[in-house]
Amino acid sequence: MTRHDYSITFACYNQVDYTRACVDSLVRHGVDLGCVIAVDNGSSDATRDYLSSLPLGGRVFNKINLGCGVAWNQGALALQAPWTIVMNNDVLVSAGWIEGLLGAAESHGLRIVSPALIEGPDDYPVDAFLAEAAAKMKDVLRANVPHAVCVAIHESVWMDIGYFASIPKLWGYEDTMFFHAARQAGIASGITGASWLHHFGSVTLSAMKRERGLGGKQGLSDRRSYRLLQESWLARKLQKARRVRQLREWRAQELAQYGMTLHGVREQGTFRWL
């Protein structure tokens, strides 16, 4: 891969320590920061000073929090490339993660692809574990279930279905709408075991919920946002049932063959596999 094959963008809102850890991880694993566009959504901590100190490919400083969709679009448009990797700022990358991600896309004919994840505290040897997991599960694919913690999007997707919904009050529902539009358009997507990330667990969204006095299980987006998908109640229920059944099948198959799955949660010093 060369720096001209892809760009990377992330949005941030406060949480400078996580952003710093993310950037340190990118640098440690060979990412040229000239490929990175950071979009700050009105942070009040030291985030902007930190971003200003980095040799980034670009930075966007919004006056207020415009939400995920707007920020992701700003980053994608600021540095256009064959592949745009949209990621959270509360992740740690691993060795060969970009090559694994885009290599899997080429091998499986995907235009939207996400890495496998470990979520929770980083109380394990992250770099070594993720590298071993990628080597072990490089041929594993979960089709049609990408996620927005990190997702590589081919430039042709923008032309087919457009960018993320630029409605600030969606507060995180933008990815659901985008992936729904991609499925409707027949765009191949998936999660690959050839690339792994550690995700601390939606740190920014959790902080925004606390700011608004919301509980951990409450969503930031309006509970009626699902109406934007223009699907019937029955269609949504059937789709959810199929998704749950498929996830159970993937989990059973992956555990049987590898002793782990493409989605792990770190709890009390052990892994729970989903």
Distance CA 51, CA 36 (A): 11
Res 240: pLDDT: 85
Distance CA 38, CA 114 (A): 19
Res 4: pLDDT: 73
Q: Write the DSSP string, 114-168.
A: EEEEEES---S-HHHHHHHHHHHSTT-EEET---SSEEEEEHHHHHHH-S----G
Res 221: pLDDT: 62
**Considering the domain boundaries, does residue 163 fall inside one?**
yes
The CATH number of whichever domain residue 57 belongs to comes to 3.90.550.10
Joined tokens for residue 25? 């991880």
Residue 50: how many CB atoms within 10 A of its CB?
18
Q: What does each C-alpha distance from 269 to 138, 240, 265 come to in angstroms?
A: 25, 31, 10
**Considering the domain boundaries, does residue 199 fall inside one?**
yes
Q: What is the bridge-based pairing of β-strands 112-119 and 263-267?
A: parallel
| Of 213, 108, 31, 269, the residue nearest 10 (C-alpha) | 31
Distance CA 56, CA 71 (A): 16
- Helix (H/G/I), strand (E/B), else coil: 212: coil
**Considering the domain boundaries, does residue 42 fall inside one?**
yes
Residue type for position 271: F
**Considering the domain boundaries, does residue 1 fall inside one?**
no
Res 201: pLDDT: 83
DSSP 226: G
**Considering the domain boundaries, does residue 108 fall inside one?**
yes
For the ranges 17-21, 50-54, 152-156, 224-228, the lowest mean pLDDT is seen at 224-228
Joined tokens for residue 105? 């896309």
Distance CA 36, CA 3 (A): 10
- Residue pLDDT, tens place only, 198-218: 999 876 666 666 666 666 666
| Average pLDDT of the segment spanning 256-265 | 98
pTM for the model: 0.92
- Tokens 């995180």 locate to 172
DSSP 90: S
- Tokens 């042709």 locate to 156
Q: Give 93's Cβ-side CA count (13 Å radius).
A: 28
Q: What does each C-alpha distance from 35 to 61, 87, 178 come to in angstroms?
A: 17, 13, 23
Res 169: pLDDT: 80
Domain of 13, in residue numbers: 6-273
Distance CA 192, CA 167 (A): 30
Domain count, the chain: 1
**Considering the domain boundaries, does residue 129 fall inside one?**
yes
Res 210: pLDDT: 65
Distance CA 146, CA 74 (A): 21
- Residue pLDDT, tens place only, 109-159: 999 999 999 999 999 999 999 999 999 999 999 999 999 999 999 999 999
Q: Give 161's Cβ-side CA count (13 Å radius).
A: 20
**Considering the domain boundaries, does residue 182 fall inside one?**
yes
**Considering the domain boundaries, does residue 97 fall inside one?**
yes
